[in-house]
Amino acid sequence: METLSALLTFWREQAGKLGEQTLQHIGLTAVSLLLAVLLGVPVGLWLSRRPRWAPAVLGLAGVLQTVPSIALLGFLIPLLGIGPKPAIFALFLYSLLPIIRNTLAGIQGVAPAVVEAARGLGLTDGQVLHRVELPLALPVLMAGIRTATVINVGVATLAAYVAAGGLGEFIFGGIALNNPAMILAGALPAAGLALLFDAALGAVQRLSARRLGRVGVGLLVALPLLGALYLLPRASGKLLAGFSPEFVGRADGLPSLTKTYGLTRLPSVVLAPALVYEAARNANVDVIDGYSTDGRIRAYNLRVLRDDRHVFPPYYAVPVVRPALLREHPELASVLALLDGQISDSVMTNLNYRADYLHQSPQAIAEGFLRRRGLWRAPRPAGTSAPVVRLGSKIFAEQYILAEMYAALIRGNTMLAVQTKTGLGGTTICFEALRDGAIDMYPEYTGTGLLVLLQPTPAVVDSLGGRPDAVLHYVRREFRRRYRLEWLAPLGFNNTYALLMRQRQAQQLGIESVSDLGKYLRD
Amino acid sequence: MPTNQPPVVRVSRLSKHFGAHAVVQDVSFELAAGETLVLLGPSGCGKTTLLKMLNRLIEPDAGTVEINGQDVLAQRPELLRRGIGYVIQQVGLLPHYTVAENIAVVPRLLGHAPAAIADRTAALLTRLHLPPARFAGQLPHQLSGGQQQRVGLARALAADPPIVLLDEPFGALDPLTRASIRREFRELEELRSKTMVLVTHDVTEAFELADRILLLDAGRMQQLGTPRELLFRPANDFVRRFFAAERLALQLRTLTLEDVFGETPRWNTAGANCRTPDNFNTQTTVNEALEALTSTDTAPSALPFTVAELMAAFGQALQREEDAWKR
């Protein structure tokens, strides 16, 4: 019931967007279907004349059909970039099999005697095709188009992953935010469209052969018109933004950014988180959301726009430990403190770049960093009975690198043994492991500690005002009180949300901060 | 056989192979205007292939087909076919066309005036006992098999082609329907003047409809001649064996009262109290006479001869044919 009212509220608030996405969805389906009919029907006809080729062609189309849709989009992005092209092409490929197969089956289903009689009466090959074979194959052919349409309406939701719009934008935003109402807001209209098209084409299919011919021609005319829906002018501006679904949906993401900086004239598309950087690099979009220490910032030569009004909460990395560890091994305190304030945003970006793009091992990256800072000590031989420090990390490169740094420092500066338990999945798994004593420490981010683990009331969050010191102070106090866990000193970098632009474009436009961006868009 | 006119169909040395398999080998025949030729033979003997080479549904490997003195290969196949009626066993009515539209296919292709087409369609349907008011607007699947075949025949005749090709036209019908349609077919005024080539494997049908029969086996001509020639003057063992099973029935159907009783039949000179059934004449077959004699509604005393007399004369006639052949 709650979800239902949330859904209705969502639809009311986002009515404009819902309409736009629905039209885009229909447009995508229609354009790809039109292309598939234009290619698939002639191919099917050709195969009916050369049945020897049918297994090969149908096999190929069948293989295309079995490629998971996400993977197919992934293959197409390097070739076609992001935007409508890969989406339409993928949908087109999915429609081919049912259309080719049903065209062929339809023609082959025409009684040979009817064709022979028609030829015997003196119809030319073209007349046999147009007056006899096609009209008689049309019901089966239409069934193929119907299948393809229903498949397409479903698969077209994935278009949202490649910035091609459609109802998938709500669905993926909802998934990213774990917001059922938002998922339904996109999923219900998509399912409705599928049912609607299925019923409409089903009704067409049941028409008599002679009327079906006329309706078929009508459909062929209607498809480009429906496809043109996709081309309806969308909001346009000086710059185009590409955002991940989660960023668009969450309160401390785009909504607060728009409010604070007045980024009202920034039209945006939604696409898969994994693709936003690619999209910026290839200039499909100009502004993206990202994480301020991502290795791709360096790899793709992007600029982080300064969040000069502190909209994004601070996500400073801080080691969180069990106090017992420091009590039992007091020598660790100074060793762990060696990294305090040592790693700036750009340094961390660099280290991530080595991991993600140069594919160096986290261990090698950690060692290289420590050597450059003069912190490297060869590991001391730890006895078999030496106490073990268990280090945890979440499942991404930055955390692996930090864990390896601490491991190297402990091995080089103490007699303790180290066990790294990397890849503990997400935040809650690491946190629970620390509380249970399965690990002794892991690097956490202040913003995550605040919003994900402590989850204070909005009033508390507002009172902290996004000030890094205040947030750290709050999480440290609350962790001590509630969980008896200790936040040490920050490492220096802030891995928070960030708006990114291509370095060169940002330079040309003189945009350094988000305020600059807002000013540029308003001028 | 009128010989002063050039043949309507002239086939010379026609051959066709499908792969290594020779389907038709070195077949030649000529057909005069108005003549009905039946292509007869066992299944797979090449008779359908031979028929389809006449309207170029199959192209020959060697040999020529001339229609009205013109090589068919010199004409566009569709134009050639529009001038030749074509009827097949499975009928092949266009299922999405009404009866009237099916019949109108060829006249429309030929650009005939719609009014003329409508008149012609109605006339043909009427003649084939399919009242246009009821049948013209129906779709093929609403018709019985016999009705469909009649429509198929009407379709072939719609543009009044001088030549009609028929591929087992009655083959798909049950025996009763087949007999009645065959009778209609024979009595159809429309067909009297046509030059027809008809394929069948049914010997009785061949004898009933043919002016001449071309008997084929394994793609080769075994004999070309009138039914009587094939029956009483078989060219080889194959021909003889082919008719062996139905020999007596065929003889009864082939020999006429003139054959058994001579030029001045005995019943003509019989007593004045002896009435001749109206339908008896010199061309009445022995079979027909027998049917009349044995039917219960004819008084025996009213007939010019008895069954015994007829059969005796029939036996003598057979003996005469046999002797003539041996000599």
Dump pLDDT digits (tens) for A306-350: 988 888 888 999 999 999 999 999 999 999 999 999 999 999 999
Contact A247, A275 (CB under 8 A): no
SS3 assignment, position A237 = coil
Are B30 and B11 spatial neighbours (Cβ–Cβ below 8 Å)?
yes
* A158/A439 Cα distance (integer angstroms): 39
Task: Name the residue in chain B with its Cα closest to that of A133.
Answer: B94
Look at residue B175 in the predicted model and tell me its pLDDT: 83
Cα–Cα distance between A143 and A206 in angstroms, integer? Answer: 10
Tell me which of 3.30.450, 1.10.10, 3.10.105, 3.40.30 is the CATH number of domain A317-494: 3.10.105
Q: Helices A397-413 & A345-356, crossing angle to 10 degrees?
A: 100
Using CA atoms, how far apart are residues A277 and A296, in angstroms rounded to an integer? Answer: 7
CA pair distance A499, A52, nearest whole angstrom:
56
Which residues from chain B sit within 8 angstroms of residue A210, using beta carbons? 96
Q: What is the spatial distance between Cα A519 and Cα A197, in angstroms, rounded to a whole number? A: 45
B-chain residue closest to A114, CA distance: B92
CATH number of A1-231: 1.10.3720.10
Q: Would you call A122 and B79 a contact, using CB atoms and an 8 Å cutoff?
A: yes
- Nearest-Cα distance to chain B for A210, in Å, is 7
B57/A contact by beta carbon, under 8 A = yes
One-letter identity of residue A457: T
Q: In what order do the strands lie in the sheet with B62-67?
A: B21-31, B9-18, B62-67, B70-71
Pairing mode of beta strands B21-31, B9-18 = antiparallel
DSSP letter for A513, please.
Answer: B
Interface test with B, best of A121, A127, A129 (most B CBs within 10 A): A121
Asked if A131's CB is within 8 angstroms of B86's CB, the reply is: no
Mean pLDDT of A215-226: 82
In whole angstroms, what is the distance from residue A161 CA to residue A486 CA? 40
Averaged pLDDT for residues A200-205: 86
Residues of A in contact with B79 (CB under 8 A): 122
Rounded Cα–Cα distance for residues A322 and A328 (Å): 11
Look up residue B24 and give its two tokens.
């038709």
- Would you give the DSSP letter of residue A129? I
In whole angstroms, give the CA distance from residue B165 to residue A120. 10
The angle, 0 to 180 degrees and rounded to 10, between the axes of the packed helices A15-49 and A2-13 is 90
**Is B104 exposed, middle or buried, given 0-12, 13-18 or 19+ CB atoms closer than 10 A?**
buried
Q: Is the dihedral of CA B216, B220, B226, B228 positive or negative?
A: negative
Which of B82, B96, B109 has the CB atom closest to A135's CB atom? B96
Give the pLDDT mean for A295-307: 91
Cα–Cα distance, A86 to A73 (Å, whole number): 6
State the pLDDT at residue A500.
94
Share of chain A above pLDDT 70, in %: 98
Q: Between vectors from CA A333 to CA A327 and to CA A334, what angle results, nearest 5°?
A: 150
| A207 Cβ under 8 Å from any chain B Cβ | no
What is the rounded (10 degree) CA torsion for A357, A359, A364, A366? 40
**Distance between CA A287 and CA A501 in Å, rounded?**
5
The CA R_g of chain B, rounded to the nearest whole Å, is 22
The span from the CA of A297 to the CA of A356, in Å, is 11
Residue B299: predicted pLDDT: 60
How do residues A175-189 score in pLDDT, each as one tens digit? 777 778 888 999 999
- Rounded to 5°, angle at Cα A476 from A471 and A481: 125
CA-based nearest residue in chain B for residue A139: B96
CB contacts of A131 in chain B (<8 Å) are: 94
pLDDT for B97 equals 92
pLDDT score at B262: 74
Any residues with CB less than 8 A from the CB of B132 and at least 6 apart, and which? B100, B121, B122, B125, B126
Contacting residues of A for B165, CB less than 8 Å apart? 120
Domain boundaries, chain A: 1-231, 241-312+499-522, 317-494
Taking contacts as CB-CB distances below 8 angstroms, the residues of chain B near A208 are: 96
**What ranges make up the beta strands (E) of A177-267?**
241-243
Mean pLDDT across chain A: 88
Q: Average pLDDT of A408-425?
A: 88
* Predicted pLDDT of residue B276: 54
Contact criterion met (CB < 8 Å) for A117 and B79 = no
Residue of B78, B81, B109 to mutate, testing the A interface (most A Cβ within 10 Å of its Cβ): B78
ipTM: 0.84
Residue found by looking up tokens 């001869």 in the block: B305
Q: What are phi and psi of B25, to 5 degrees?
A: -130, 115
Give pLDDT tens digits for A477-512: 999 999 999 999 999 999 988 999 999 999 999 999
Q: Which residue type does A429 have?
A: I
Residues 6 or more apart in contact with residue A59 via CB below 8 angstroms: none
CB burial of residue B55 (10 Å; 0-12, 13-18, 19+)? buried
List pLDDT tens digits, range A236-283.
Answer: 678 888 888 878 877 778 888 888 888 878 888 888 887 888 888 888
CB contact under 8 A, B78 and A111: no
| Chain B residues inside the 8 Å CB shell of A116 | 57, 88, 92
* B120 in Cβ contact with B107 (< 8 Å): yes
Q: Tokens 């910035």: give the residue.
A: A163
Is the torsion defined by CA of B303, B309, B311, B315 positive or negative?
negative
* Separation in Å, CA of B57 to nearest CA in chain A: 7
Q: What are the CA-CA distances from residue A457 to residues A119, A253, A464, A487, B213 (Å)?
A: 81, 18, 11, 21, 104
| Strand segments (E) across chain B | 9-18, 21-31, 36-40, 62-67, 70-71, 84-88, 163-167, 195-200, 212-217, 220-225
CA-wise closest residue to B100 among B120, B81, B127, B128: B120
Between CA A418 and CA A387 the distance in angstroms is: 8
**Burial environment of residue A43 by CB neighbours within 10 A (0 to 12, 13 to 18, 19 or more):** buried
Q: Report yes or no: A91 and A165 within 8 Å, Cβ to Cβ.
A: no
| Cβ-count burial A14-33 (b if 16+ within 10 Å, e if not) | beeebebbbbbbbbbbbbbb
Report the C-alpha gap between A300 and A285 in whole angstroms. 13
B82 touches chain A (CB under 8 A): yes
Alpha carbon A13 to its chain centroid, in Å, reads: 24
> Residues 62-81, chain B: which have Cβ within 8 Å of A?
78-81
Given a cut of 70, is residue A20 above it in pLDDT?
yes
C-alpha B216 chain-centroid distance: 16
Mean pLDDT of A91-120: 93
Radius of gyration of chain A (CA): 29
At A183, is the secondary structure helix, strand, or coil?
helix
Q: Which of A114, A131, A210 sits opposite B92 (nearest CB)?
A: A114
Residues with Cβ within 8 Å of A366's Cβ and at least 6 positions away in sequence, in order, are A401, A402, A404, A405, A407, A408
Are the Cβ atoms of B109 and A123 closer than 8 angstroms?
Answer: yes
Packed helices B175-187 and B145-157: angle between N→C axes, nearest 10 degrees: 30
Q: In angstroms, rounded to a whole number, what is the distance separating the alpha carbons of residues A317 and A399?
A: 10
CA distance B32 to chain A (A): 22
Residue numbers in B near A123 (CB within 8 A): 78, 105, 109
Residues 6 or more apart whose CB falls under 8 angstroms from that of B294 comprise B307
Residues 90-129 of A with CB under 8 A from B: 111, 113-124, 127
Blockwise average pLDDT, block size 10, chain B, 327 residues: 73 91 92 93 90 93 92 91 92 91 93 94 91 93 91 92 92 83 83 91 89 92 92 90 89 85 58 51 81 70 74 87 76
CA pair distance A273, B327, nearest whole angstrom: 104
Instruction: List CB contacts of A164: < 8 A, sequence separation 6 or more.
Output: A24, A28, A82, A83, A84, A86, A87, A88, A269
DSSP string, A397-459: HHHHHHHHHHHHHHHHHSS-EEEEE----SHHHHHHHHHHTS-SEEEEEHHHIIIIII---HH
pLDDT of residue A236: 65
- Condensed to tens digits (0 to 9), the pLDDT of residues A48-85 reads 999 899 999 999 988 888 888 888 887 888 788 778 88
**CA B172 to each of CA B181, B185, B210: distance values in angstroms, whole numbers, following the listed order:** 12, 15, 20
**Apex A256 CA angle, A309 and A479, nearest 5:** 80
CA distances from A218 to A65, A80, A98, A126, A215 (A): 28, 31, 20, 21, 5
B-chain CB neighbours of A121 within 8 Å are: 81-82, 86, 105-106, 109, 155-156
What's the whole-model pTM score?
0.75
B88:A113 CB<8 A: yes
**Helix, strand or coil, per DSSP, at residue A390:** strand
Q: What top-level class would CATH report for the domain A241-312+499-522?
A: alpha beta
